[in-house]
Amino acid sequence: MIKLAPSILASDFNILGEQIRQIENAKAEYLHIDVMDGSFVPSISFGMPLIASIRKNSKLIFDVHLMVEEPIRYIKDFKEAGADIITVHTEACTHLHRTISLIKENGLKAGVALNPSTPLNSLEYIIRDLDMVLIMTVNPGFGGQSLIPATLSKIKDMKEMAIRTEASIDIEVDGGIMISNVDQVLQAGANVIVSGTSVFNGDITQNIVEFKKKFQQYNS
């Protein structure tokens, strides 16, 4: 099943609660929450207090993407704040296996994200421990970027690796995904779609409906 993960990085924080309700009512599955520390990536964004606040009023699956150095320091805090899935960057972890193990020990699903230039072989010996791999289709740190075309072949290669290693994982994509190009990443093998501006700009409900229409032909 193809799942949609609207990214609140593109939301209007004056009406965030209302926008999250619209996302829920339109049947999106996940809420994608980018956490940035100003070190691993240039920007600074949300932390535990925001997640804890919106957790009180939402039943969506919270897909927390940690773009931070040494994320192992924060796993328990984000679990307590309300995360359901925690994804960390292999580039930011000194001990990736230990970090993934801690996420799972806390009862959460574990994902690993790869920047556009990071090779897939960095996952070779850990892929069967994962629930999800996040392929960044832009360089992380800012919203509103255009998808890097070369990442489409990386998604295909990730799908092939998952089949070859018999890894039961979701393949998530994040960066520049719009209704007009989502077919490309779906055809490549992605099954969790992160989108910010294409969900939050304009009519949120209608935008989600349009994404879901695109998904239908792949939900076989």
For 102-117, write each residue's pLDDT tens digit: 999 999 999 999 999 9
Q: pLDDT at residue 141 above 70?
A: no
User: Is there a binding annotation on residue 34?
Assistant: yes
Q: Are 6 and 195 in contact (CB under 8 A)?
A: yes
The domain spans of the chain are 3-217
Residue appearing with tokens 């779906």: 186
Largest CA distance in the chain: 46
User: Is there a binding annotation on residue 144?
Assistant: yes
User: Is there a binding annotation on residue 202?
Assistant: no
- Report the CATH architecture of 3-217: Alpha-Beta Barrel (3.20)
How far apart are the C-alpha atoms of 170 and 71, rounded to whole Å?
21
- Residue 142: the pLDDT is 65
Q: Which residues pair with 30 in a beta bridge?
A: 61
For 146-168, write each residue's pLDDT tens digit: 899 999 999 999 999 999 999 99
- Residue 43: the pLDDT is 82
Active site residue 34: yes
Strand 61-67 versus strand 85-89 pairing type: parallel
Options 12, 34, 129, 131, the catalytic residue? 34
Q: Helices (DSSP H) in 87-203: which residue ranges?
A: 96-105, 151-165, 182-188, 197-200
Alpha carbon of 92 to those of 19, 41, 89: distances in Å?
A: 31, 10, 5
For 173-185, write each residue's pLDDT tens digit: 999 999 999 999 9
Q: Which residues pair with 112 in a beta bridge?
A: 88, 133
Q: Are 172 and 133 in contact (CB under 8 A)?
A: yes
Options 37, 63, 131, 174, the catalytic residue? 174
Q: What is the DSSP letter of 85?
A: E
Residue 183 has a CB neighbour count (10 Å cut-off) of 12
> Across residues 49-59, what is the average pLDDT?
95
Active site residue 77: no
CA dihedral 58, 11, 78, 185 (to 10 degrees): 100
The answer for residues whose C-beta is within 8 angstroms of residue 152's C-beta and 6 or more apart is 137, 184, 185, 188
